[in-house]
Structure 1
């Protein structure tokens, strides 16, 4: 069963597990379990997608319970009226905080995007980041005798495809477990030394206005055991309680 973070007669939010697709995709024809189908069976009614999370990303996923509410929520996203906060573990020591303002060329899938325009100009993309913790572990990864990692909070202002993963790679601090934009040696090191496979990217928080009542809704998705295991090994337990107290910036929003 999926962990339900919020539900009323208009919308529902779940904590999406890493490795689970939101819906059927030609890119993963062998998959048989999806969030939409699982949630539909769990709550006994149809659900409508509003946004998506990549298969390896975990965390807050918002869905509507009618097409009208889905349309209203989609408008909020398009107008940058929904705030999201992600957490990631990245390679190396990140600067204390900052903003990545780096336009991204659209990434196209050979099958799903075969009719898209490959010559589309790069689109503006902005990500704010804040470093929460750092650690140096006495394990050899690549040419070094030790490995350095940072726990970062990421707030996307725009919502380009794979934006957070590509922006961290642009800064030479790729997210651990990122097979497309990351560091293969570091990914293997996480598995070998810390028994941690998969992408270390989690959609932790979301803030939005209820599309029907107008009330402010704040959603928080807990980290899964894999994340908790890494936090314990890296000695970041004291940092975790602070993650429950997120201050959303009124002028920061995103459309994905």
Structure 2
């Protein structure tokens, strides 16, 4: 059986961007020691050369994932990701409930337990912009209601804290569907049964940043998979197509 191949979105002499599928780790980690497939190793084997991750996506998140093709370019990209306003990230998410049309979540986040260090601030400022794209009413009972309200939202993190989007959506009582850590287990299982599969409904749609060679603006996009088509445009009262 042939090895799976990552879909390349963009490649030049300095960097390569791929469309990461859900349920794939970026690299080896002790937090998921039983996993055997990693985007970094897959891309290295696919290209036949070393690659360096320029940023991270959670295992369950799909979409734009960027790698550098040298340590020097990795450092330059890392500086861009650390600089205020240098990189703009846009995500799609399916959340429980109907959030307002738009808003800003300005809520500090505590460092994760495995990221604690002596002398570090335990709490970090964190901001996320969101915009509601479509509202849904799924044929799933919720409490005393015959249906479950969900919405497709666009998210733009203004800071880069760990699990920021997932934690911020939980904070405003609109957790991301499929989030086993910060979401609602019964809802996740019900939606998985309705659509025929389990996943974290979070997708890295767009990454905008200066190119490490010369600084020209670069926009990298990964269209959402077919299962997202109806989520992003479907309105209350219309049928929902199950995921393949």
TM-score by length of 2: 0.89
Hey, what does 2:241 align to over in structure 1?
none
1:78 match: 82
CA RMSD of aligned residues (A): 1.9
State the shift of 1:32 in Å.
1.2
Tell me the residue number matched to 1:251: none
SS at match of 1:36: helix
1:43-91 deviations in whole A, cap 9, x for unaligned?
A: 1110011110010011111110000000000000100311100010000
The aligned counterpart of 1:220 is 221
Deviations 1:174-225 (A, max 9, x none): 0000011101121111012222411100000011111113221111112124
Please state how far the C-alpha of 1:235 moved relative to its aligned partner: 5.3
Alignment match, 1:241: none
Decide whether aligned partners of structure 1 residues 91 and 23 sit closer, same or farther in structure 2, where only a CA change above 3 A counts: same
Deviation (angstroms), 1:136:
1.4
Q: Distance in 1 between the 2:158 and 2:121 partners? A: 21
Task: Structure 2 unaligned segments of length 5 or more: list them.
Answer: 237-244
**Counterpart check, 1:58 vs 2:62:** yes
Residue in structure 2 matched with residue 102 of structure 1 by the alignment? 107
Alignment match, 2:33: 29
Alignment partner of 1:13 is 2:11: no
Aligned partners of 2:191, 2:119: CA distance in 1, in Å?
35
* Contact 1:21 1:55 (C-alpha < 8 Å) held by counterparts: yes
Deviates more, 1:64-73 or 1:117-126: 117-126
- Of structures 1 and 2, the one with the larger relative CO (CA 8 A, separation 6+) is 1
- For residue 142 of structure 1, report the CA deviation from its aligned partner: 4.0
Could you list the runs of 5+ residues in structure 1 that have no partner in the other structure?
237-256
Q: Give the number of aligned pairs.
A: 231
Task: State the 1:28 CA deviation.
Answer: 1.4
The alpha carbon displacement at 1:117 in A equals 4.4
Residue 231 of structure 1 and its aligned partner are, at CA, apart by 5.2
